[in-house]
């Protein structure tokens, strides 16, 4: 650029504030040796000049390994106040329980198998998740055999003989004594036995529930078909 253009360039240059101007002057005032060397070579040069004894080593700090956060396991969607008709009262005789393979909605948008059994003790109906708190296996020692076979007063896991109270689901005898089955709320609507407090897909064709709830496995239907009736609960 010629000298005659210099005033024009200065005229259009951005104005420098006071702080920037002072910082520029202080930086430019620091003397920089012509033979200044940085990095490893510079460190070694200073090591020699200072007359240090021994072997010169220079190691970089280890880079910490960054682990990705663990995946958040899927969870069942919170229940709602709808009534899901599962069977009729006449389908359950006294001191008898029956397994119903259902499909439950999860918070990742998928549905997964969920096995529930509904039983009757006198005029009282109850429902629990078909999963023993001892090992996580099914309770029924044979298909739909949930009651202790001698007296038919308690529920019994067929694998290790744990016995559960029908009203509370608490284990009263066996290897998991004190633990309880997962209770599901039952509502009797006229002649229908319904479940509520859950989020179900009654149109799905499913079989027995998978052991691992995070496995996206839909088993074949074993001849059981749910009534696709869904009602809104009202007091």
* Chain centre to alpha carbon of residue 16: 56
Q: What is the pTM of this model?
A: 0.61
Beta strands in the chain (DSSP E): 82-88, 96-105, 111-121, 124-129, 155-156, 163-164, 171-173, 185-189, 192-196, 230-232
| Residue 22 reports pLDDT greater than 60 | no
For the chain, percent of residues with pLDDT exceeding 90? 43
Confidence band of 34 (pLDDT split at 50, 70, 90): low
Structural domains of the chain sorted by starting position, each given as residue range(s) with its CATH number in brackets: 82-232 (2.102.10.10)
Rounded to the nearest 5 degrees, what angle is found at the Cα of 79, between the Cα atoms of 112 and 202? 50
**Which of 39-48, 66-75, 76-85, 214-223 is modeled with the greatest confidence?**
76-85
The two structure tokens encoding residue 186? 């039952």
Residue 51: the pLDDT is 74
| Spatial contact of 198 and 78, defined as CB atoms under 8 Å apart | no
Average pLDDT over residues 18-30: 53
């Amino acid at each position: 650029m010629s000298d005659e253009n210099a005033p024009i360039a200065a005229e259009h240059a951005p104005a420098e504030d006071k702080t920037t101007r002072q910082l520029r002057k202080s930086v430019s005032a620091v003397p920089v040796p012509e033979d200044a060397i940085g990095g490893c070579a510079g460190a070694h040069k200073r090591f020699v000049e200072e007359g240090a004894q021994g072997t010169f080593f220079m190691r970089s700090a280890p880079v910490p390994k960054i682990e990705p956060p663990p995946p958040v396991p899927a969870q069942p969607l919170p229940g709602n106040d709808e009534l899901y008709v599962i069977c009729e009262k006449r389908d359950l005789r006294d001191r008898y329980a029956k397994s119903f393979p259902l499909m439950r909605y999860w918070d990742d948008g998928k549905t997964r198998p969920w096995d529930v059994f509904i039983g009757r003790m006198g005029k009282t109906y109850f429902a629990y998740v078909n999963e023993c708190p001892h090992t996580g296996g099914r309770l029924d020692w044979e298909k739909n055999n949930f009651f202790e076979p001698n007296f038919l007063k308690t529920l019994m896991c067929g694998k290790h003989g744990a016995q559960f109270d029908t009203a509370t689901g608490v284990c009263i005898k066996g290897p998991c004594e004190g633990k309880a089955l997962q209770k599901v709320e039952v509502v009797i609507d006229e002649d229908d036995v319904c479940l509520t407090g859950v989020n179900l897909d009654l149109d799905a064709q499913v079989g027995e529930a998978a052991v691992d709830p995070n496995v996206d496995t839909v088993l074949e239907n074993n001849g059981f078909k749910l009534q696709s009736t869904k009602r809104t609960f009202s007091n």
